């Protein structure tokens, strides 16, 4: 009988009590919650960084596109000139394809849709009449854009004829990016680009 009780006692000591199981489950739950919180934080951080980089890339690509297009128009056979120079609007006339056909590019900001748009027109009679080629949206979710114009020696130009350089300032609207996946950490990306342009005297 004693051998049987001893054997039973040994079996009881070899197993887990209910309290030990509950403690183990509680520890496992705490560890699991901790891992989940860390993983969620890492996902938010990664998503936020990716969103910031994409917004910055969008602005950079937009400024580079505009700069390349304006410089290309200014290097054609047609003498280029600035027709409209406003804080949120720029119209530039030149020769985009170097084929002696006049092109007119009009960049303007639509605050109602937060879009920067581009209109392209062509003229075969040296600007007497224009034919619309199309209108495109070149960047969306734009909080603001500002064109700043300079004359020689960084002076403020009196009129469009004196403009020799254009500075472009852009900032993104990140309200749509402030989601649960980014935890409201997306920063407002902004960028400045500057270009020297050819601009004939119109008078």
Q: Mean of the pLDDT values across residues 57-77? A: 90
For residue 174, name the pLDDT band (cuts at 50, 70, 90): low
Q: For 100-139, what is each residue's pLDDT tens digit? A: 889 999 999 999 999 999 999 999 998 899 999 999 999 9
| More confident: 14 or 49 | 49
Per-residue confidence (pLDDT) for residue 43, from 0 to 100: 67
Q: Mean of the pLDDT values across residues 80-86? A: 95
Distances (CA, A) of 120 to 19, 70, 150: 78, 12, 24
Q: In the chain, how many domains are there?
A: 1
- Domain assignment present for 16: no
| More confident: 99 or 109 | 109
Cβ neighbors of 118 (< 8 A, separation 6 or more) are 105, 106, 107, 135, 136, 137, 138
Q: By CB neighbour count within 10 A (0-12 exposed, 13-18 middle, 19+ buried), where does 111 fall?
A: exposed
- Domain assignment present for 110: yes
- Domain assignment present for 46: yes
For residue 184, name the pLDDT band (cuts at 50, 70, 90): low
pTM surpassing 0.85?
A: no
- Domain assignment present for 17: no
- Domain assignment present for 87: yes
- Domain assignment present for 20: no
Distances (CA, A) of 179 to 18, 130, 144, 185: 44, 45, 21, 9
For residue 178, name the pLDDT band (cuts at 50, 70, 90): low
Report whether pLDDT(203) > 50: no
- Domain assignment present for 123: yes
Determine the structural domain holding residue 157 and report its residue range. 28-196
CA 147/CA 108 separation, integer angstroms: 10
Report whether pLDDT(180) > 60: no
- CA 14 from centroid of its chain's CA atoms: 64
- Domain assignment present for 2: no
Report whether pLDDT(75) > 80: yes
């Amino acid at each position: 009988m004693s051998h049987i009780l001893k054997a039973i006692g040994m079996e009881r000591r070899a197993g887990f009590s209910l309290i030990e199981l509950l403690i183990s489950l509680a520890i496992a739950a705490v560890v699991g919650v901790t891992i989940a919180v860390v993983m969620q934080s890492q996902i938010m951080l990664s998503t936020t960084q990716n969103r910031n980089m994409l917004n910055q890339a969008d602005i950079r690509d937009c400024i580079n596109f505009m700069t390349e297009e304006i410089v290309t128009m200014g290097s054609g056979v047609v003498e280029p000139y600035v027709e409209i120079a406003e804080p949120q609007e720029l119209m530039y006339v030149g020769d985009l394809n170097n084929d002696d056909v006049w092109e007119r590019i009009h960049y303007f900001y639509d605050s109602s849709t937060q879009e920067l748009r581009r209109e392209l027109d062509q003229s075969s009679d040296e600007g007497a009449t224009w034919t619309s080629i199309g209108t495109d949206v070149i960047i969306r979710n734009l909080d603001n854009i500002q064109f700043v114009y300079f004359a020689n020696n960084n002076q403020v130009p009196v009129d469009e004829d004196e403009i020799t350089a254009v500075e472009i300032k852009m900032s993104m609207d990140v309200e749509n990016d402030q989601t649960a996946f980014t935890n409201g950490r997306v920063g407002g990306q902004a960028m400045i680009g500057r270009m020297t342009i050819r601009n004939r005297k119109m008078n």
